[in-house]
Amino acid sequence: MLSALRRLGYLFWLNAWLWSPAWAANYWQEQPLTSEWLQYLQQSEQLRQLDKAQLAAEQQRLGTATILAASKAQHFGLEAITDAAAAEAVMSFQTPSGGWSKRTDMRLPRQPSQHYGSEPRYVPTFDNDATTTQVFWLANFYPKATAEQQARITLSIERAISLILQAQYPNGGFPQSYPLQGGYHDAITLNDNAMYLLLETLWQVSANPNFDMLSSTLRAKAKDSFYRAVDWLLANQINVDGQLTVWAAQHHPISGQPVIARRYEQIALVSSESAKLLELLLDYAIDYPGVSVAVSAAANWLEQKKIVDKRHVRDQDGRLSLIDEPGSHVWARFYDITTGLPVFYDRDGKVYDKVSQLSVERQRGYGWYQTNAASFLKQYQQRKALQRK
């Protein structure tokens, strides 16, 4: 139990945090929070302060007020960890809280008083494959490491999995970033496959021999966390006029209702990220209560929404269009929940029914058409017994 003084200090911080105008889309001030949710927020803030304190300690030790910038790089500047030096460099960018940041070059070791990530609002995060990628890279390299380095890799992976377990909301969902960063980052996030990658990681940690270096207790917790997330998916699959469909890109952390993220990510059903989660359910949880019904309903919806005999192409300026190609199918990334029709959004926040109506910048900078659903439907159609059931 917290002492009275610590509790008072925490409540003072929480009140300031909840009402800070800098935190847009603040889900935490909409209704009174239970003690379980308050404890979750307190834990998040403690970890956020831990990350800040480490940087401050390094500055003090060096006698400098300067914080060095981290370099940007797509996919961390690496394809995999192939040697001991790369493993050490990647581990050096692990935050004290236990995660990694996105779009950050990790080819060279992090220097004292250097940011852990190139984008402050994503330090650390699960967005853009961050944290989950590093866990798999380290586990894959582990057999090649020396005994001394294996011990450090084990500790690094343990810290990362512990962070993922702590990040899970009391209802089973996951935020995009943790410790929490505020705004839409706190939404339960399917976008860019964040939730899919977290569930894939939890399953592999619990079942894959690559993670035998971890304790049985931690692996059991990962398995429990996986099924808690499955329960969240089953409870929040969107029902339209009595029919189960798929999910939205972002859901409210408490209510589970679809929510807006960026202006070009309005409330809508999302095909691609839903399909990845459906593949995962098909592979790992099809016998779990309620999953077969959810998967079959979503498969029917995706089958209905495919754009038949079309392929999406870009011109030299990045403009998107659909061309005829017999046998090829695509899906719009977003579908209006009410009408079920494809929808597209620009930075003005307006809704458009044709991708050609978007600015060239948004046509070029976003994947408005996707094909992930084809892979899921192919696997689903091979499960004849499931379809009959």
The closest of 262, 182, 188 to 229, measured between CA atoms, is 188
Q: What is the pLDDT of residue 174?
A: 98
Contact 274, 193 (CB under 8 A): no
Q: What is the pLDDT of residue 313?
A: 86
pLDDT, tens digit, 9 for 90 and up, residues 233-269? 999 999 999 999 999 999 999 999 999 998 888 999 9
Q: What is the pLDDT of residue 273?
A: 97
Contact 250, 189 (CB under 8 A): yes
Return the minimum-mean-pLDDT range out of 219-223, 263-267, 317-321. Answer: 317-321
Q: What is the pLDDT of residue 365?
A: 78
Element (H, E) at 141: helix 132-141
Whether the model clears a pTM of 0.75, i.e. scores above it, the answer is yes
Copy the structure tokens of residue 162.
């512990």
| Angle in degrees, 0-180, between the axes of helices 35-62 and 147-167, rounded to the nearest 10 | 140
pLDDT, tens digit, 9 for 90 and up, residues 70-111? 999 999 999 999 999 999 999 999 999 999 999 999 999 999
Residue-range domains of the chain with CATH: 48-235 (1.50.10.20), 237-389 (1.50.10.20)
Question: How far is Cα 181 from Cα 198, in angstroms, rounded to an integer?
Answer: 18
In the chain, pLDDT over 70 holds for what percent of residues? Answer: 93
In one-letter notation, the amino acid at residue 103 is R
pLDDT, tens digit, 9 for 90 and up, residues 327-360? 899 999 999 999 999 999 999 989 999 999 999 9
Question: How far is Cα 389 from Cα 383, in angstroms, rounded to an integer?
Answer: 10
Q: What is the pLDDT of residue 318?
A: 83
* pLDDT band per the 50, 70, 90 thresholds, residue 25: low
Q: What is the pLDDT of residue 389?
A: 63
Burial of 37 (0-12, 13-18, 19+ CB in 10 A): middle
Question: How far is Cα 113 from Cα 61, in angstroms, rounded to an integer?
Answer: 9
